[in-house]
């Protein structure tokens, strides 16, 4: 059944804003794939024509294929351990699947499906010729040696075989995987496909192995370009300029750490950061060099001298202007949304805010810049890496940044203009939706997230219709 109302009732969770009935007791459904569906369902009433919408919506939302693998690996103790691996190709109507591989104990099928779907919408919104994919292995990278991680990676890639490929499905780094992991991915695939240019099979590779300048910092840099353009174009009137603004960041890995450095270089004060062990706070701004060297020595930002300790989620609630969740999914829920003090939340992680928390933030006048856009710099530069690999070229960092900025600015403009049009024509959309869903409550005004979804879903729908359903 398609309707968000029915879905939410069936899963026993709170009413969404689409139902028009705000909840008394928040009991949220934090399953990631169902959460992605609730976000998607909010966009459907705006994706016209509505004729045939149910079947088309099912086709666009459900993954094309889900691969589940059992991976036996001999660990350093000399014994065989088995791990579960997943690779989901969500959609390839606009191009081959593209998406990261994560190593984390919580990796599961539902999460990987949701993350793959978000990749489809990111690629469509930024208008790069890829579909969405994602993969992961349920393992604890913190207790694995480098040799064990290498064996898990190689076994995973070998087991996927020709389900990966430069024109089929192209992996990249994600949580707890990095350029070294991507080098193993490349090498494994290349050993299985000798005698051809295999570099475009994976992105996020080391520079010496066909990696792109700027890929390491791309997600953070892209987020910064998005924010800068939203500010300069007047789309965030209640926000201060970047110099002097207070920024709190959850997560201090690739995305969080680079975002902190880029915002600090632009004159912002990074007042709080955190990692998997906890957070730290200095209201006037952290000394990032000191935080980094403490993390280098101890493995964590926690207990950096001169800082006040914070719990994992407390970092989200510190007084600040800009909050950037850059760690895990579902971090802002109805349980803490009312305590967020920022005026804008920019999503760097995928899916850090539940749809119900989105409603709370929106009611409180807090703008959310959605992950589909603000966390898409990584896949955009991955696309640049793929193009360079196919053409045997190596672009300069300046070139990569210029192209990234152009792509992000264009996507921001499309999202903002779409939202403005949807708001102007809201009555017409309400009327059209009431005709196909007579029992549905009036549509809520679309947020930036819904506008981003509308652009992405509309593009995938158009491509699907132009290609035709085969046979």
Q: Is 125 in the site for ligand NAD (CB under 6 A)?
A: no
Taking the least distance from each CB to ligand NAD, the nearer of 46 and 386 is: 386
Diameter of the chain measured on Cα atoms: 66
Task: Classify 66 as helix, strand or coil.
Answer: strand
Residue 168 vs 276, nearer CB to ligand NAD = 276
SS3 470: coil
| Nearer Cβ to ligand NAD (36/443) | 36
Site string for ligand NAD, 294-313 (x = CB under 6 A): ------------------x-
User: Could you tell me if 30 and 334 are in contact, meaning their C-beta atoms sit under 8 angstroms apart?
Assistant: no
Neighbours of 231 (CB within 10 A): 17
Q: Which one, 174 or 385, has the nearer CB to ligand NAD?
A: 174
Alpha-carbon span 60 to 464, nearest angstrom: 9
Q: Phi/psi of residue 312, each to 5°?
A: -50, -55
Collapsing DSSP states into helix, strand and coil, what is residue 468? coil
Interatomic CA distance for residues 175 and 373, integer angstroms: 18
| Residue of 235, 255, 302, 320 interacting with ligand NAD (CB under 6 A) | 255
Tell me: does residue 348 bind ligand NAD (CB under 6 A).
yes
Determine the size of the site formed for ligand NAD (CB under 6 A).
Answer: 24
% helix / strand / coil in the chain, to the nearest 5? 45, 15, 35
Q: Could you tell me which residues come within 8 angstroms of residue 12 by beta carbon, excluding any fewer than 6 positions away?
A: 27, 29
Site for ligand NAD, residues 256 to 275, rule: CB under 6 A: 256, 274-275
Instruction: Write down the least CB distance from residue 322 to ligand NAD, Å.
Output: 16
- Give catalytic status of residue 134 as yes or no: yes
The contacts of residue 201 (CB under 8 Å, 6+ apart) are: 164, 165, 166, 170, 171, 185, 186, 189, 190
The burial of 313, by beta-carbon neighbours within 10 Å (0-12 exposed, 13-18 middle, 19 or more buried), is given as middle
Which residues from 211-240 bind ligand NAD, rule CB under 6 A? 219
Report in angstroms how near the CB of residue 215 gets to ligand NAD at its nearest: 8
Using the minimum distance from each CB to ligand NAD, give the nearer residue, 4 or 322: 322
In the complex with ligand NAD, the residue whose CB is nearer, 327 or 332, is 327
Is 349 a binding residue for ligand NAD by CB under 6 A? The answer is yes
For ligand NAD, which stretch binds (CB under 6 A), given 62-70, 73-81, 185-193, 252-260? Answer: 252-260
CA distance 224 to 265: 11
Q: Which of 60, 73, 242, 327 binds ligand NAD (CB under 6 A)?
A: 327
- According to the binding rule CB under 6 A, does residue 291 interact with ligand NAD? no
Buried b / exposed e along 374-406 (16+ C-beta atoms within 10 A): bbbbbbbbbbbbbbbbeeeeebeeebbbebbbe
CA angle in degrees (0–180, nearest 5) for 279-373-406 = 120
How far, rounded to the nearest angstrom, does the alpha carbon of residue 58 sit from its chain's CA centroid?
22
Q: Nearest approach, Cβ of 60 to ligand NAD (angstroms)?
A: 22
375 lies in the binding site for ligand NAD (CB under 6 A) = yes
332-344 in b/e burial notation, b at 16+ Cβ within 10 A? bbbeebeebebbb
Which of 445, 390, 383 has the alpha carbon at shortest distance from 411? Answer: 383
Q: Does 336 bind ligand NAD (CB under 6 A)?
A: no
Write down the catalytic residue from 98, 113, 122, 134: 134
Residues 262, 328, 404, 456: which binds ligand NAD (CB under 6 A)? Answer: 328
Residue 350 in contact with ligand NAD, rule: CB under 6 A = yes
In this complex, which beta carbon is closest to ligand NAD, that of residue 175 or of residue 268?
175
| Minimum distance from residue 383 beta carbon to ligand NAD (Å) | 12
Residue number of the CB closest to ligand NAD reads 253
CB of 111 to ligand NAD, least distance (A): 10
Binders of ligand NAD among residues 170 to 199 (CB under 6 A) are 173-176
DSSP 212: P
- Judging by beta carbons within 10 Å of its beta carbon (0-12, 13-18, 19+), is residue 232 exposed, middle or buried? exposed
Residue 44 near ligand NAD by CB under 6 A: no
- In angstroms, what is the minimal distance from the CB of 381 to ligand NAD? 8
Task: Pick from 92, 198, 250, 389 the residue near ligand NAD by CB under 6 A.
Answer: 250
β-bridge partners, 69: 85
Nearer to ligand NAD, 8 or 260 (CB): 260
Angle at 425 between CA 422 and CA 426, to 5 degrees: 75
333 is a site residue for ligand NAD (CB under 6 A): no
Query: Given candidates 165, 206, 240, 253, which one binds ligand NAD under the rule CB under 6 A?
Result: 253
Report the nearest approach of ligand NAD to the CB of residue 314 (Å). Answer: 10
Query: Which residues are marked as active site?
Result: 134
Interface positions with ligand NAD (CB under 6 A): 173-176, 219, 250-256, 274-276, 312, 326-328, 348-350, 375, 378
């Amino acid at each position: 059944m398609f309707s968000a109302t029915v879905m939410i009732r069936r899963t026993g969770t709170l009413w969404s804003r689409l139902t028009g009935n705000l909840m008394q007791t928040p009991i949220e459904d934090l399953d990631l794939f169902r959460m992605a569906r609730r976000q998607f369902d909010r966009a459907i009433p705006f994706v016209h024509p509505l004729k045939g919408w149910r079947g088309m919506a099912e086709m666009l939302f459900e993954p094309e294929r889900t691969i589940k693998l059992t991976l036996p690996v001999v660990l350093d103790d000399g014994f065989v351990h088995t791990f579960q691996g997943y690779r989901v190709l969500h959609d390839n109507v606009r191009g081959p699947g593209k998406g990261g591989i994560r190593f984390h104990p919580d990796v599961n099928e539902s999460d990987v499906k949701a993350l793959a779907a978000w990749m489809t919408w990111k690629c469509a919104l930024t208008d790069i010729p890829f579909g969405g994919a994602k993969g992961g292995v349920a393992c604890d990278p913190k207790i694995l040696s480098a040799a064990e991680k290498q064996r898990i990676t190689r076994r995973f890639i070998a087991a996927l075989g020709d389900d990966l490929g430069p024109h089929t499905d192209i992996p990249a780094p994600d949580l707890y995987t990095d350029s070294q992991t991507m080098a193993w991915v490349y090498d494994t695939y290349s050993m299985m496909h000798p005698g051809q240019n295999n570099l475009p099979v994976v992105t996020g590779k080391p520079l010496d192995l066909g990696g792109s300048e700027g890929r390491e910092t791309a997600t953070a840099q892209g987020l910064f370009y998005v924010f800068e353009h939203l500010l300069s174009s007047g789309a965030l009137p209640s926000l201060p300029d970047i110099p002097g603004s207070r920024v709190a960041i959850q997560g201090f890995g690739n995305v969080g750490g680079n975002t902190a450095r880029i915002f600090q270089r632009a004159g912002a004060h990074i007042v709080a950061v955190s990692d998997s062990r906890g957070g730290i706070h200095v209201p006037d701004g952290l000394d990032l060099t000191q935080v980094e060297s403490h993390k280098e020595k101890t493995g964590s930002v926690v207990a950096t001298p001169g800082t006040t300790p914070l719990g994992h989620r407390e970092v989200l609630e510190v007084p600040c202007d800009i909050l950037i969740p850059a760690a895990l999914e579902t971090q802002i829920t109805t349980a803490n949304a009312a305590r967020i003090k920022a005026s804008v939340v920019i999503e760097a992680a995928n899916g850090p805010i539940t749809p119900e928390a989105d409603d709370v933030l929106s009611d409180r006048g807090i703008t959310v810049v959605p992950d589909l856009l603000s966390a898409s710099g990584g896949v955009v530069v991955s696309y640049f890496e793929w193009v360079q690999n196919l053409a045997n070229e190596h672009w300069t960092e300046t070139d990569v940044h210029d192209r990234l900025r152009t792509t992000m600015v264009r996507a921001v403009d499309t999202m903002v203009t779409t939202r403005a049009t949807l708001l102007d024509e809201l009555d017409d959309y309400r009327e059209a939706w009431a005709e196909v869903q007579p029992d549905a409550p009036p549509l809520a005004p679309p947020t930036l997230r819904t506008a981003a979804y509308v652009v992405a879903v509309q593009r995938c729908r158009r491509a699907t219709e132009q290609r035709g359903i085969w046979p």
